[in-house]
Amino acid sequence: MKQSILFLFIICMMTSCSKKLEEHPKSIAAEVFYNTPSEVEAGLNAIYIPIRRVSTIGALYLCQQEIYTEYLYGRGSHAPLNDYNGLDNTNITRINSMWTDFYESIRDANIVIEKAPLGKSLTEDDLKKYLGEARFMRGLCYFYLVRNWGGVPLRNENNMDSINLPRANASDVYNFILADLEWAEQNLPDNPRQVGAPSKWSAKTVLTDVYMTLHQYDKARDKALEVINSAKYSLVKVAVANDFDKLFGPDIASSTEEIFYLKFARTPSGQGFPYPIYAHYPNSGYYPPGGYYTFYSDSEQNSFVKNWDKNDLRYSFCWYAQTFGLGNTTILLKKFSDKSAVTAGGNDYPMYRYADLLLFYAEAVAQAGGSPTADAMEKLNMVHRRAYGKDPLIADASVDFKLSDYASQQAFIDKVVQERGYENVGEGKRWFDLKRLGIAQQVIAAVKGKTIAERHMLWPIPTVEYNYNTAINPTTDQNPGY
Beta-strand relationship, 73-74 and 258-262: unpaired
Q: Which residues of the chain have pLDDT under 50?
A: 1, 6-28
Look at residue 86 in the predicted model and tell me its pLDDT.
97
Question: Is there a contact between 188 and 203 (Cβ–Cβ < 8 Å)?
Answer: yes
Look at residue 5 in the predicted model and tell me its pLDDT.
56
Q: With CA atoms as reference, report the closest residue to 146 among 184, 105, 102.
A: 102
User: What is the phi/psi pair of residue 350, to 5°?
Assistant: -80, 80
Q: How many helices (H) and strands (E) would you count in the chain?
A: 19, 6
- Going along 233-301, which residue ranges are E strands? 258-262, 295-298
| Annotated domain spans of the chain | 1-15+37-51+87-188+452-482
Question: Is there a contact between 197 and 262 (Cβ–Cβ < 8 Å)?
Answer: no
Q: Determine the Cα–Cα distance for residues 12 and 82; give it in Å rounded to an integer.
A: 43
Q: Determine the Cα–Cα distance for residues 91 and 101; give it in Å rounded to an integer.
A: 15
C-alpha pair distances (Å), 215 with each of 24, 181, 223, 360, 370: 51, 17, 14, 12, 13
Look at residue 344 in the predicted model and tell me its pLDDT.
87
**Residue 274: cis peptide before it, omega within 30 degrees of 0:** no
Look at residue 33 in the predicted model and tell me its pLDDT.
80
Bin 111: left if φ > 0, else alpha if -120 < ψ < 50, else beta: alpha
C-alpha pair distances (Å), 167 with each of 151, 170, 466: 6, 9, 10
Which residues have CB under 8 Å from 15's CB, separation 6+? none
Look at residue 28 in the predicted model and tell me its pLDDT.
45
Sheet with 73-74: strands ordered across: 73-74, 295-298, 330-333, 319-321
164: how many CB neighbours lie within 10 A of its CB?
11
Contacts 24+ apart (CB under 8 A), 157-165: 157/110, 157/111, 157/113, 157/114, 158/114, 160/106, 160/107, 160/110, 160/111, 160/114, 163/468, 163/469, 163/470, 164/469, 164/470, 164/471, 165/469, 165/471
Q: Determine the Cα–Cα distance for residues 219 and 222; give it in Å rounded to an integer.
A: 5
Q: Determine the Cα–Cα distance for residues 306 and 300; give it in Å rounded to an integer.
A: 5
**Which 3 state secondary structure label does DSSP give 471?**
coil
Question: Is there a contact between 363 and 373 (Cβ–Cβ < 8 Å)?
Answer: no
Report the CATH architecture of 1-15+37-51+87-188+452-482.
Answer: Alpha Horseshoe (1.25)
Q: Determine the Cα–Cα distance for residues 406 and 113; give it in Å rounded to an integer.
A: 47
